[in-house]
Structure 1
Amino acid sequence: MTSLDQHASSSAAARLDRARFGRPHLKILSGSGVGWALDAMDVGLISFIIAALGAEWQLDSATTGWIASVGFIGMAIGASVGGLLADKLGRRQVFAITLLIYGVATGASALVGGVGALLVLRFLVGLGLGSELPVASTYVSEFAPAKIRGRLVVVLEAFWAVGWTAAALIGYFVVPLENGWRWAFAIGAVPAVYALVVRWTLPESPRWLESKGRFAEAQTIVDRFEHGSVAAAPTASAAVPRAGFADLFRGGLAPRTLALWSVWAFVNFSYYGAFIWIPSILHAQGFDLVRSFGYTLIITLAQLPGYALAAWLIEVWGRRATLSVFLVGSAISAMLFGTAGEVWQILLFGCLLSFFNLGAWGALYAVSPEVYPTAVRATGAGAAAAVGRIASIVAPLFTPWALGVGGAPLVFTVFAICFAIAAASAWGLSELKGRSLA
């Protein structure tokens, strides 16, 4: 156990761990989940938009690959910076700011007249998105009762499927229209408005408040989560020592950090390499734009049952087993999808890939904040996400190149190998099913 792990749980943290799930928890989950869904909608939209822009602007695959990848460059930077800021400024503050940044940048993308301006704005979008995702999962995990913490974070991640489905619907009904991609970007500006909701209606994390010595504020918030029933009197515990990036490798945390980074890197590479390009791959195989978008919509819907099963299993099997099994399922599905030729095969194996991969994402987001104590929780989750985003920068550039070399079988064989490596790496993570956060 590290020195940070040995920090005694404050009364507010203990009360949150044993609290019953109620309306305040639902407000945190739904409020964060809407932000999460809006994130997914933005990331999902670009997969449809680059297919449309490729045809309208007569772009080559390298250029469309960069339109996708530049956003992930921003996400890599944003994930690491956002985590550090969330540990210094607070979870809610950074959550709201990042929603505002990427919402405004997405809306402005509707007005661009060329690739250069679009690349700049997609980078800014990535900064906001990359900062927001690890902060949101940390935020929810710090409010969740210990017995259902993993399940609630998987439910939060399930909002990703809602957002990606919304992107697929917009891609199917809006993007094929004249200037449809501009209207799609305009719709993506909604997070800028939602940022105000987050800033003024959601509370700050009591665990973070106590880590800064703000005990009275923390206790007041916890009181609301216990419906006015105070389970324990406030104690004058010391604030958690300030910590930074280097602490992710101290006091026994290094093995956890390296294992988590490995899972994030290989899952990101495979997921974004596949799902950003699926509409374009189908279009290249001879399906018209509307049909390829329609098939992608069907494949996307399979994400929801994947999340549902992962949310149940994560408190039954535990984090590592659930994550590993879903990653093995992703590897097998990727191999099958790479060889699919008939429409029924594309839909079946695509749905299986979507089901297993997004279930794995749910488990990964649940386990990531748990790996670290409060002082470096958002920093650790953000650093892992940043490593993953580096892999996701490469993936959209790798896919069109590999398609030219060996077609879909080569591409999805590589993705299957990456999923298998991630499944093995998952066993290097700590198992905290039902246990209190440090």
Structure 2
Amino acid sequence: MDIIGRLERIPAGSFHYRLLVITGLGWMFDAMDTGIIAFVLPSLAKAWSLTAAQVGYIGSAGLVGMALGAVLSGSAADRIGRKKMFASTLILYSIATGLCGIAWNFSSLVVLRFLVGFGLGGQLPVAVTLVSEYAPPDKRGRFIVLLESFWGVGWLAAALIAYLLIPHYGWQMAFFIGAVPALYVFYLWNWVPESVRYLLDKGQIKEAHNIVCDIERRAGLTPVNDMIAPPSEPVKRNAFSDIWAPEFFKRTLVLWIIWFGIVYSYYGIFTWLPSLMVGQGYTVLKTFEYVLIMTLAQLPGYFAAAYLVDRIGRKATLGGFLALSAVAAFFFGQGGTPGVVLLWGSLMSFFNLGAWGVVYTYTPELYPTRIRAFGSGWAAAVGRIGGILAPTIVGFMLQGQGGFQMIFTMFTAVMLLVAVTVWLAGEETKGKTLDEISR
């Protein structure tokens, strides 16, 4: 049995769950640094007398960085390793977030938010790769959804920082707290192993063998002494045309629509949510309180998606969650009493973030191994374009004729379109091996 076969036969155990938690904490810090800007913007806009369009530019600057980081991180991780890329991007976005606390004007903050986004965009695909390459095949989907659930924990942390600190210590303190994750890199570096598949690709067979032996011992299995490397395949440079070949054309088109729509709706809604609620007459403190409760609703949304994705399938879970998030967004946009707004906002958060977990599971399943990372990376990059556009479009709508209700009607239409696309054109991958899907 070769090294990869040995790795895949190891049942889920303490190593896998510890890796999930450690990698998930990095994912959580990603979300916390992303979420902090949403909670800072209402106070910052007032302090610096920013226009709605300028607020939108600040939100979009980070997403431009995320798009570039996502595109470049895959090739960088293939050159220097998943572990080094994970650590370096964590340090980059943490330090850049801390520097945002000493930003002196609008332009300096835009530049710093771009750097934050570049680090964040680079880390997310690396985290997914690490967990995917170590998770047992029969539990890979659930592990990825659970990894994505740490995003909800990060937004919750950002909401708590905003609720507890900003009213008393100012918006700068939120950014300074965002620099703390840089210290986490020391623990991460000492415990997280390099990807076995990466090591084998680089010819470091002995190191890969030692890592697998250690995991085998942790799982109560007898380590195999023979260092048998899997058959090597000739390296082929992926071309953009590969993901548009006839057998993958529909899959790529569907994925690009899904990614664009879900990222557009998520960043358009949640980057602006505190500011929009302040604009509706809520105090900053009350807004943070309500958004904190809505953020809490994200966690059961992830867990529900993790439970359903292997039972009713990817299409039903993803399409259903997106459609229900669209319904919730529509009624949230109608306003009403604080209780009604809180109810629909929480449901919108529950279903939208549950859908995110399924997207991260579904995307790599639709491509064969030779173009899996390449195709997934391009889908994520197209999604970031939606994330770049959404905050700016909302800003212009607020300056023009668009209001709270019209903005959320727009997001309702986008999410419904994506849900219909999934139902009509998506392929079901539940219960199939990756080889079966790739045919």
TM superposition score normalised by structure 1: 0.92
Match of 1:333 in 2: 328
Aligned with residue 182 of structure 2, among 192, 195, 203: 192
Report whether the alignment pairs 1:379 with 2:379.
no
Q: Distance in 2 between matches of 1:413 and 1:58?
A: 28
Q: CA, structure 1 residues 197+251, in 2 after alignment: closer, same or farther (shift >3 Å)?
A: farther
Q: Distance in 1 between matches of 2:428 and 2:225?
A: 28
CA-CA distance at 1:381 after TM superposition = 2.7
Q: Deviations over 1:362-403 (max 9, x none)?
A: 111122233334444433333222111111111011113224
Aligned with residue 253 of structure 2, among 232, 253, 258: 258
Q: Deviations over 1:20-48 (max 9, x none)?
A: 11111012101110000000001111001
Q: CA, structure 1 residues 152+380, in 2 after alignment: closer, same or farther (shift >3 Å)?
A: same
1:283, 1:292 within 8 Å by CA — same for their partners in 2? yes
> What code does the residue aligned with 1:71 have?
G
Aligned with residue 223 of structure 1, among 213, 217, 220: 213
Report whether the alignment pairs 1:27 with 2:18.
yes
Q: Distance in 1 between matches of 2:234 and 2:11?
A: 26
Match of 1:409 in 2: 405
Q: CA, structure 1 residues 294+131, in 2 after alignment: closer, same or farther (shift >3 Å)?
A: same
Range that drifts further, 88-97 or 326-335: 88-97
2:27, 2:151 within 8 Å by CA — same for their partners in 1? yes
Q: Deviations over 1:128-187 (max 9, x none)?
A: 111111221122112111111111111101101110000000111112224x21111111
Matches within 5 A, 1:305-316: 305-316=300-311
CA-CA distance at 1:429 after TM superposition = 5.0
Range that drifts further, 145-154 or 188-197: 188-197
Aligned with residue 151 of structure 1, among 142, 147, 151: 142
Aligned with residue 282 of structure 2, among 277, 282, 287: 287
Q: Distance in 2 between matches of 1:21 and 1:61?
A: 49
Q: CA, structure 1 residues 231+414, in 2 after alignment: closer, same or farther (shift >3 Å)?
A: farther
Q: What is the SS of the residue equivalent to 1:112?
A: coil
Q: CA, structure 1 residues 95+249, in 2 after alignment: closer, same or farther (shift >3 Å)?
A: farther
Range that drifts further, 33-42 or 129-138: 129-138
Range that drifts further, 137-146 or 269-278: 137-146
2:200, 2:229 within 8 Å by CA — same for their partners in 1? no
Q: What is the SS of the residue equivalent to 1:111?
A: coil
Aligned with residue 72 of structure 1, among 48, 63, 80: 63
> What code does the residue aligned with 1:410 have?
M
Q: Distance in 2 between matches of 1:72 and 1:33?
A: 21
Q: CA, structure 1 residues 231+338, in 2 after alignment: closer, same or farther (shift >3 Å)?
A: farther
Aligned with residue 241 of structure 1, among 235, 240, 256: 235
Range that drifts further, 228-237 or 262-271: 228-237
Q: Distance in 2 between matches of 1:232 and 1:415?
A: 56
Matches within 5 A, 1:144-183: 144-178=135-169, 180-183=170-173
Q: Deviations over 1:292-314 (max 9, x none)?
A: 11111011100011011011111
> What code does the residue aligned with 1:424 have?
V
Q: Distance in 1 between matches of 2:269 and 2:45?
A: 18
Q: Distance in 2 between matches of 1:434 and 1:23?
A: 25
Q: Deviations over 1:317-355 (max 9, x none)?
A: 222322111111111111111112211111000000000
1:130, 1:386 within 8 Å by CA — same for their partners in 2? no
Match of 1:94 in 2: 85
Q: CA, structure 1 residues 263+80, in 2 after alignment: closer, same or farther (shift >3 Å)?
A: same
Match of 2:268 in 1: 273
Q: What is the SS of the residue equivalent to 1:177?
A: helix
CA-CA distance at 1:250 after TM superposition = 4.3
Q: Distance in 2 between matches of 1:28 and 1:430?
A: 30
2:264, 2:386 within 8 Å by CA — same for their partners in 1? yes
Q: What is the SS of the residue equivalent to 2:403?
A: helix
2:260, 2:385 within 8 Å by CA — same for their partners in 1? yes
- Give the root-mean-square deviation of aligned CA atoms: 2.1
Match of 1:317 in 2: 312
Which structure 2 segments of 5+ residues have no match? none
Q: CA, structure 1 residues 336+159, in 2 after alignment: closer, same or farther (shift >3 Å)?
A: same
Q: Deviations over 1:60-81 (max 9, x none)?
A: 1111111111110111111111
The percent identity for this pair of structures is 46
1:84, 1:244 within 8 Å by CA — same for their partners in 2? no
Report whether the alignment pairs 1:420 with 2:406.
no
Q: CA, structure 1 residues 224+47, in 2 after alignment: closer, same or farther (shift >3 Å)?
A: same
CA-CA distance at 1:83 after TM superposition = 2.0
Range that drifts further, 183-192 or 299-308: 183-192
1:323, 1:423 within 8 Å by CA — same for their partners in 2? yes
CA-CA distance at 1:231 after TM superposition = 6.9
Aligned length: 428
